């Protein structure tokens, strides 16, 4: 079931740069004129040419000259016939012009606008590939220049050795058009040239586990109170700030796994060019059981709640109930489905390792998501919950804190990704040690963090596919790359950490044109000082961040 998902999401990505052409034909466009009696006449408006005005002018002159209508009899017959013929021709021309306007002339053109008699703004035409990408482009997008990155040490995200002395050309649509030895690409007129002086150039980084609408809370009750007080507008605005912090940190794509319906507003504002931020795949509300990890009303007196959360907020029970919850998140624009297969650390009253969704419910969720060509990401700490989720057919295990050899073997066999979130494990463990968590959460954090590190090492050594995911939102956005340093500290090679944040993560997301720097891929890249293959932490301070060929950060 992964192929249709990959295709759908790849087209979503490609559609994100739609409408880069001018919205209307320029005024001096030769198409904006017509030839009549061997001369080129300016077109006054669609379907109306200068000769159109000649008939009434001619009639007016004749009337002025000959006075009253009865005097028209003195007009020579051949001149009267000429006037009538010209008038008839004009009627025929007008009908033809209206027909051309209605059907769109020159339908063989590559663009729906090219050569059309009546120019239509491209925003109204769209790409036909996806609904969400048809949003209006900004003026900046309309005037995006080509970009030449000169003198790169290229780490292309494929796992190959770095190549020095490379130039990359990104075209005006944000696609990589050429990668050649330095100085050999003809620089197109008007292209912006950035000489990176031999620094390392990598694909824009990918974080497969974020919560852009969330920020760290001092405690679980504080998180719940904030959640209950805020509206979707508050969350969307916070998400806008966090999206910029994430992009500035070099992450050009994220998978937002568990938020609210404001996810869609944020994703679409970024696609539409109204906000700077990473390309987002969204899950909307995570799906879980009543009283489970995803139920933010746990331990709150129901008298204080306006309502118990239901399928609209991802809380559902039984196979039919969870199917309805999946359908609702997809109806509201979800690109993937996130489930809570087990308890969690920061939620109250649930064992961190306890299975929550039943195998039957998990199978129903995966089936429903696959029908809609969506992947499923499963939050899972305990071993039984992980196994249930893997057997149900989820595409990734998030956290995966308690893995054993049989489970790891099963994940490898089925191609299930692990998104280990090792850095947040350490953050929460330190918060517990400093007395910042509730006694319940502190106990769970201290118990689970060492197991999470061991499980990551077991999975990595066993060859399970690993995608980078930070859980940013539990810690400040912008610190996303610390996950890479943590994985390297636990034994992963810097090269594999880079793969986890580039081509491997792109594979999990099902986006076929990001995660590598190669011709035809999106123009997403970062430039860092130093060699990330020697010191992975240099990725925490990118000097240049480019997404879809547009420069967002330039500090060199
Ligand atoms: Zn999370």
Number of helical H runs and strand E runs in the chain: 17, 18
Distance 11 CA to ligand 1 centre (A): 26
* Averaged pLDDT, 398-410: 97
* Averaged pLDDT, 341-362: 88
Distance 305 CA to ligand 1 centre (A): 24
Which range, of 72-81, 136-145, 536-545, averages the lowest pLDDT? 136-145
Tokens of 93: 């021309």
Distance 17 CA to ligand 1 centre (A): 29
Burial zone of 258 (CB within 10 Å; 0-12 exposed, 13-18 middle, 19+ buried) = buried
How far is the CA of 82 from the CAs of 56, 64, 94, 398, in angstroms?
13, 18, 18, 82
pLDDT over threshold 50, residue 445: yes
Closest CA to 255 of 508, 546, 542: 508
> Residue 106: pLDDT band by 50, 70, 90 thresholds?
very low
Q: Distance (Å, rounded) from C-alpha 32 to C-alpha 49?
A: 10
Tokens of 33: 């004129």
Q: Which residues are catalytic?
A: 338, 471
Of these ranges, 1-15, 114-128, 140-154, 412-426, the one predicted with the greatest mean pLDDT is 412-426
pLDDT given for residue 554 in this prediction: 97
Which range, of 62-66, 136-140, 388-392, 511-515, averages the lowest pLDDT? 136-140
Distance 379 CA to ligand 1 centre (A): 7
Distance 28 CA to ligand 1 centre (A): 54
Distance 426 CA to ligand 1 centre (A): 14
Q: Distance (Å, rounded) from C-alpha 317 to C-alpha 195?
A: 57
pLDDT over threshold 70, residue 368: yes
Closest CA to 340 of 401, 391, 294: 294
> Residue 90: pLDDT band by 50, 70, 90 thresholds?
low
Q: Cβ(361)–Cβ(400) under 8 Å?
A: no
Write the CB contacts of 546 (distance below 8 Å, at least 6 apart in sequence). 147, 149, 170, 204, 252, 523, 524, 525, 526, 552
> Residue 48: pLDDT band by 50, 70, 90 thresholds?
very low
Residue 521: what are its φ and ψ, rounded to 5°?
Answer: -85, 165
> Residue 269: pLDDT band by 50, 70, 90 thresholds?
very high
Distance 473 CA to ligand 1 centre (A): 8
Q: In what order do the strands lie in the sheet with 417-419?
A: 336-340, 375-380, 396-399, 417-419
> Any idea which residue has 């001096």 for tokens?
28
Q: Cβ(260)–Cβ(284) under 8 Å?
A: yes
Q: Distance (Å, rounded) from C-alpha 218 to C-alpha 197?
A: 44
What is the average pLDDT value for the chain, to the nearest integer?
81
pLDDT over threshold 50, residue 520: yes
CA end-to-end span of the chain, whole Å? 44
pLDDT over threshold 70, residue 130: no
Closest CA to 311 of 295, 299, 335: 295
Distance 145 CA to ligand 1 centre (A): 37
Q: Distance (Å, rounded) from C-alpha 389 to C-alpha 373?
A: 18
Domain residue extents for the chain = 2-17+205-514, 30-120
How many Cβ atoms from other residues are within 10 Å of residue 8's Cβ? 17
Q: Give a three-class secondary structure readout of 184-244.
A: CCCCCCCCEEEECCCCEEEECEEEEEECCCCCCCCCHHHHHHHHHHCCHHHHHHHHHHHHH
Distance 211 CA to ligand 1 centre (A): 7
CA angle 314, 387, 467 (to 5 degrees): 75
pLDDT over threshold 80, residue 112: no
What percent of the chain shows pLDDT beyond 90? 62
> Residue 308: pLDDT band by 50, 70, 90 thresholds?
confident
> Any idea which residue has 């489905």 for tokens?
337
CA angle 439, 445, 449 (to 5 degrees): 160
> Any idea which residue has 């990473």 for tokens?
278
> Residue 79: pLDDT band by 50, 70, 90 thresholds?
low
Ramachandran bin of 475, using left for φ above 0, alpha for ψ from -120 to 50, beta for the remaining angles = beta
Distance 46 CA to ligand 1 centre (A): 55
pLDDT over threshold 70, residue 500: yes
> Residue 44: pLDDT band by 50, 70, 90 thresholds?
very low
Q: Which fold has domain 2-17+205-514?
A: TIM Barrel (3.20.20)
> Residue 468: pLDDT band by 50, 70, 90 thresholds?
very high
* Averaged pLDDT, 339-344: 94
pLDDT given for residue 307 in this prediction: 79
How far is the CA of 555 from the CAs of 41, 203, 529, 530, 550, in angstroms?
52, 17, 11, 15, 14
Q: Cβ(516)–Cβ(153) under 8 Å?
A: no
pLDDT given for residue 289 in this prediction: 95
Question: DSSP string spanning 475-497?
Answer: S-TT-TTHHHHHHHHTT--HHHH
Distance 483 CA to ligand 1 centre (A): 13
Closest CA to 539 of 505, 490, 488, 491: 488
Interval 153-171: pLDDT, tens: 999 999 999 999 999 999 9
Q: Cβ(362)–Cβ(389) under 8 Å?
A: yes
Q: How many CA atoms lie within 13 A of 302 on its CB side?
A: 4
What percent of the chain shows pLDDT beyond 70? 74
Distance 170 CA to ligand 1 centre (A): 34
How many Cβ atoms from other residues are within 10 Å of residue 6's Cβ? 17
Distance 345 CA to ligand 1 centre (A): 11
Closest CA to 503 of 272, 244, 159: 159
Q: Distance (Å, rounded) from C-alpha 469 to C-alpha 478?
A: 13
> Residue 436: pLDDT band by 50, 70, 90 thresholds?
confident
* Averaged pLDDT, 108-124: 31
* Averaged pLDDT, 37-65: 46
pLDDT given for residue 49 in this prediction: 42
Interval 7-36: pLDDT, tens: 333 333 333 333 222 233 333 333 333 334
How many Cβ atoms from other residues are within 10 Å of residue 365's Cβ? 28
pLDDT given for residue 102 in this prediction: 33
H/E run at residue 178: strand 176-181
Q: Cβ(146)–Cβ(188) under 8 Å?
A: yes
> Residue 294: pLDDT band by 50, 70, 90 thresholds?
confident
pLDDT given for residue 145 in this prediction: 84
Which range, of 29-43, 382-396, 495-509, 516-530, averages the lowest pLDDT? 29-43
Distance 471 CA to ligand 1 centre (A): 5
Distance 292 CA to ligand 1 centre (A): 14
pLDDT given for residue 329 in this prediction: 98
pLDDT given for residue 77 in this prediction: 66
> Residue 295: pLDDT band by 50, 70, 90 thresholds?
confident
């Amino acid at each position: 079931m992964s192929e249709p998902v990959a295709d759908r999401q790849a087209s979503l990505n490609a559609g994100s740069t739609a409408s880069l052409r001018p919205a209307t034909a320029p005024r001096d466009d030769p198409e904006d004129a017509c030839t009549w009696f061997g001369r080129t006449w300016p077109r006054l408006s669609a379907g109306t040419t200068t000769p159109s005005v000649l008939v009434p002018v001619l009639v007016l002159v004749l009337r002025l000259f000959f006075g009253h209508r009865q005097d028209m009899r003195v007009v020579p017959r051949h001149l009267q016939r000429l006037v009538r013929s010209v008038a008839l021709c004009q009627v025929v021309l007008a009908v033809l012009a209206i027909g051309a306007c209605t059907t769109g002339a020159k339908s063989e053109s590559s663009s729906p606008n090219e050569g059309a008699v009546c120019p239509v703004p491209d925003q109204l035409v769209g790409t036909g590939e996806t609904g969400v990408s048809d949003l209006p482009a900004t003026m900046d997008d309309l005037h995006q220049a080509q970009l030449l990155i000169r003198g790169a040490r290229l780490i292309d995200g494929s796992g190959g050795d770095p190549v020095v002395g490379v130039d990359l050309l990104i075209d005006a649509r944000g696609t990589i058009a050429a990668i050649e030895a330095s100085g050999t690409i003809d620089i197109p007129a008007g292209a912006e040239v950035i000489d990176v002086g031999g620094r390392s150039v990598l694909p824009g980084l990918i974080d497969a586990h974020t919560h852009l609408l969330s920020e760290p809370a001092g405690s679980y009750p504080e998180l719940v109170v904030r959640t209950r007080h805020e509206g979707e507008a508050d969350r969307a605005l916070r998400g806008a700030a966090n999206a910029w912090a994430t992009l500035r940190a070099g992450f050009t794509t994220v998978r937002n796994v568990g938020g609210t319906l404001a996810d869609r507003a944020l994703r679409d504002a970024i696609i539409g060019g109204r906000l700077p931020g990473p390309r987002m795949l969204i899950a909307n509300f995570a799906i879980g059981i009543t009283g489970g990890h995803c139920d933010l009303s746990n331990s709150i007196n129901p008298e204080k709640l306006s309502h118990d959360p239901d399928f609209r907020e991802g809380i559902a029970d039984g196979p039919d109930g969870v199917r309805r919850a999946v359908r609702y998140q997809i109806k509201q624009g979800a690109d993937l489905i996130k489930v809570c297969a087990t308890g969690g650390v920061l939620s109250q009253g649930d064992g961190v390792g306890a299975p929550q969704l039943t195998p039957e419910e998990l199978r129903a969720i995966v089936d429903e998501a696959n029908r809609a060509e969506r992947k499923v990401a499963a939050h899972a700490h305990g071993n039984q919950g992980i196994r249930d989720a893997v057997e149900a057919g989820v595409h990734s295990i998030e956290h995966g804190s308690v893995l054993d050899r049989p489970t790891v073997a099963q994940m490898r066999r089925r191609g299930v990704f692990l998104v280990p979130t090792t850095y947040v494990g350490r953050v929460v463990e330190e918060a517990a040690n400093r007395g910042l968590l509730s006694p319940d959460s502190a106990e769970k954090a201290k118990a689970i963090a060492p197991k999470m590190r061991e499980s990551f090492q077991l999975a990595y050594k066993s060859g399970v596919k690993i995608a980078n995911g930070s859980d940013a939102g539990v810690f400040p956005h912008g610190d996303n790359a610390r996950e890479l340093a943590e994985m390297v500290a636990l034994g992963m090679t810097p090269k594999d950490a880079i793969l986890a944040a580039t081509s491997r993560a792109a594979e999990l997301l099902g986006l076929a044109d990001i995660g590598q720097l190669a011709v035809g891929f999106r123009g997403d890249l970062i430039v860092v000082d130093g060699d990330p293959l020697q010191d992975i932490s240099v990725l925490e301070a990118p000097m240049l961040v480019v997404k879809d060929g547009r420069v967002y950060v330039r500090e060199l």
